[in-house]
């Protein structure tokens, strides 16, 4: 078994299997949300939990797409390498997000942990069999895929005609909204990704990202806190900038 990977949890006293999904605090956000107790037990039979350290790769573009993952803690980034060697980050995954789906037999992108992350790991073939057996989980996954498509469309807007300042404000507001949907504080915003990661997501240079954060801080739209947090001190102004007002 690979390092940092565990199988099903067991009760040492009784020797009975503990339900690894039972104590999952983010289950309402995941593909598992629609399942009943017996269906969850069936799902738990095929999953393993795995920890990835910051900078560790889950899988690379072109690898056999034989494992699916559900993020339970931490942040994961998805990216593609362009022919000229540049990197385009296509998304950041947070707890509850599902990753690894592929239309063919290989992954179309690389997934890498931004911070130390915990994920549920599912063999693709076994997961596909359960999806056939449990239509409501299939519908839930389809809904999550639709949300992912909407996020990709939002990113296309960010990469379009917005200025650097508009992109950064839109990005911070997006992170704030995602935190709120997960029951966390909208403000301050947790920004665990590096300036280089933000640049590769927004189609900017690292220097432009850093300069724009400084400009927003000087204008008292935001303040930079310890622990990779950004306090939005003037939400109205941030939204006005994001919308090009």
Question: How does residue 149 score in pLDDT terms, banded at 50, 70 and 90?
Answer: low
User: Rounded mean pLDDT of 159-169?
Assistant: 89
98 and 27 part of one domain:
yes
Residue finishing a domain among 157, 183, 205 = 157
36 and 151 part of one domain:
yes
Residue 76: what pLDDT? Answer: 97
77 and 177 part of one domain:
no
| Higher pLDDT pick, 38 / 89 | 89
Residue 39: what pLDDT? Answer: 80
144 and 41 part of one domain:
yes
Distance in angstroms (rounded) separating the CA atoms of residues 56 and 46:
23
Residue finishing a domain among 123, 157, 191 = 157
Query: For the domain that residue 33 is a member of, what is the CATH number?
Result: 2.60.120.10
148 and 172 part of one domain:
no
* Tokens 């900017």 -> residue: 204
Question: How does residue 41 score in pLDDT terms, banded at 50, 70 and 90?
Answer: confident
Q: Which domain holds residue 22?
A: 5-157
- For 168, 209, 210, the CA distances from 171, given in Å and listed in that order, are 5, 11, 14
113 and 226 part of one domain:
no
Residue 102: what pLDDT? Answer: 80
168 and 220 part of one domain:
yes
- Two structure tokens written together for 67: 């494992």
Query: For the domain that residue 220 is a member of, what is the CATH number?
Result: 1.10.10.10
Residue finishing a domain among 157, 178, 207 = 157
142 and 192 part of one domain:
no
Domain count, the chain: 2
Structure-derived torsion over alpha carbons of residues 37, 43, 46, 52, reported in degrees to the nearest 10: -100
137 and 21 part of one domain:
yes
Residue 194: what pLDDT? Answer: 97
Distance in angstroms (rounded) separating the CA atoms of residues 153 and 140:
20
Mean model confidence pLDDT for the chain:
84
């Amino acid at each position: 078994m690979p390092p940092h990977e565990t199988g099903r949890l067991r009760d040492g006293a009784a020797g009975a299997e503990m339900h690894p999904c039972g104590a999952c605090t983010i289950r309402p956000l995941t593909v598992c949300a629609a399942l009943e107790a017996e269906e969850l037990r069936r799902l738990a039979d095929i999953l393993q939990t795995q920890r990835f350290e910051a900078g560790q790769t889950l899988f690379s573009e072109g690898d056999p797409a034989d494992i699916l993952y559900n993020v339970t803690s931490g942040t994961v980034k998805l990216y593609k390498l362009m022919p000229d060697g540049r990197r385009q980050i296509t998304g950041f995954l947070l707890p509850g997000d599902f990753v690894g789906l592929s239309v063919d037999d290989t992954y179309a992108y690389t997934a890498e942990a931004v911070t130390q992350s915990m994920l549920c790991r599912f063999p693709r073939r076994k997961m596909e069999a359960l999806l056939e057996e449990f239509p409501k989980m299939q519908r839930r996954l389809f809904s999550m895929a639709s949300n992912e498509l909407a996020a990709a469309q939002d990113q296309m807007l960010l990469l379009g005609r917005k200025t650097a300042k508009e992109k950064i404000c839109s990005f911070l507001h997006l992170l704030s909204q995602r935190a709120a949907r997960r029951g966390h504080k909208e403000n301050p915003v947790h920004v665990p990704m590096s300036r280089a990661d933000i640049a590769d997501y927004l189609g900017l240079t690292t220097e432009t990202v850093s300069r724009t954060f400084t400009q927003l801080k000087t204008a008292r739209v935001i303040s930079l806190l310890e622990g990779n947090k950004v306090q939005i001190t003037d939400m109205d102004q941030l939204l006005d900038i994001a919308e090009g007002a």
